[in-house]
Amino acid sequence: MRRNSATLGAALVCVWFSAGVARATSSEPGKDVQADPGPCVAAAAAADDDKTIEVCGALIDNEKTARPDRIKALTARAGAYDRKQMIDRAIADYDTVLRLDPSLADAHNARGELWRRKGDRPKAIMDFGAAVKLDPNHAAAKANYKSLSLELERIGAMMAVAGKPSFDCRKARRPVEKAICANPELADLDREIGASTFRAVREAKDPRQARELQRAQDQFIVRRNAEFGKPGYDLQKAMRERLQQINGVDGY
C-alpha cells in the first residue's frame, strides 16, 4: 500500500483551499495583509505542474506568507517537482517543510519514497521509520518501512555470501576448486550454479527428471575438474554456459 510522494500536494489542496482563501480575504483593518495563497491553491488543484512551481514558488519566497501556507506551498511544489522527475528539488522542498514542522509524518514518508528512488536506502528507511514513529497508523509508511527492511535484509544476505562458492574453500584440494576460491567472480558463478541446480531439481516434474538434472550437474563437475588447466579451456566461459543451461536462455 504505497502512497506516491507526488500525490501528497494534491491531497492537501481541498483542505487548504477553504482555509487559505478565507484567511486571505478576511484581514482586519490596520494589520499587514498576508500573502494570498489562492493562485498556488488553484494551480495545485488543476494539477498544472509548471504553474504550481511558478506561483507556489512566489508564495514560498514572499516574506508575508504565513508559516502554514508556506508549508503547504512547499508540499505542493515538491509534488510538482516529483511528477516532473526533478527529485533533488522535491527532496529540497521536503527538507524545508520538515525544518518548519518536523512532526509531519506524510512529509517524512514522501521524502523517504524520493530517497528510495534515488537509491539512498539508509536515508529512506530513516524517513519511513520517522513517519511510523510519528503516526503508528500511517499505512503507507508502515508498508514502505516493511518492504525496504526486507530489501535491506536480502542485500545483507547477498553481501554476506558475495565472493563465496557453493563449497567450503578450507576443504578445497583440486586446482580448479582453488582457482574458484581465489576469484570472487568465479566463486559467485559457482554459488549461482549450485543454487540454480538445487532449484531445478526441487521443481522437477517427476523423480526421473530430477535425477537427470542432477546427473547433468555431476557430469559438468567431472568435466570441469578434468579439463581445467588444459590448453583452450576457459573455466569462466564453461561456468557461464552451464548456468545458462540450467536457467534457460531468459534466465529464471
pLDDT mean across residues, the chain: 86
Residue among 97, 98, 113 at smallest CA distance from 145: 113
Residue 60 CB partners (closer than 8 Å, separation 6+): 70, 73, 74, 77
The residue assigned the cell 547477498 is 158
Residue-wise pLDDT for 194-244, tens only, equals: 989 988 898 888 999 999 999 999 999 999 999 999 999 999 999 999 999
Integer Cα distance of 71 and 135 in angstroms: 19
- pLDDT computed for residue 224 by the predictor: 96
Domain boundaries, the chain: 5-159, 169-247
Burial classification of residue 183, based on how many CB atoms lie within 10 Å of its CB (0-12 exposed, 13-18 middle, 19 or more buried): middle
Residue-wise pLDDT for 26-80, tens only, equals: 444 444 557 899 999 999 999 999 999 999 999 999 999 999 999 999 999 999 9
Integer Cα distance of 55 and 75 in angstroms: 13
Integer Cα distance of 174 and 238 in angstroms: 17
pLDDT at 115 over 80: yes
Other beta carbons less than 10 A from residue 25's beta carbon:
10
Q: 140: pLDDT confidence band, cut at 50, 70 and 90?
A: very high
- pLDDT computed for residue 8 by the predictor: 55
pTM metric for this prediction: 0.59
Asked if residue 24 lies in contact with residue 12, where contact means CB atoms within 8 angstroms, the answer is: no
What percent of the chain is predicted at pLDDT more than 90? Answer: 68
Integer Cα distance of 76 and 99 in angstroms: 16
Q: Which DSSP category does 34 fall into?
A: P
Asked if residue 44 lies in contact with residue 76, where contact means CB atoms within 8 angstroms, the answer is: yes
- pLDDT computed for residue 250 by the predictor: 39
Q: 10: pLDDT confidence band, cut at 50, 70 and 90?
A: low
CATH class, range 5-159? mainly alpha
Asked if residue 40 lies in contact with residue 73, where contact means CB atoms within 8 angstroms, the answer is: yes
| CB-facing half-sphere around the CA of 40: CA atoms within 13 A | 32
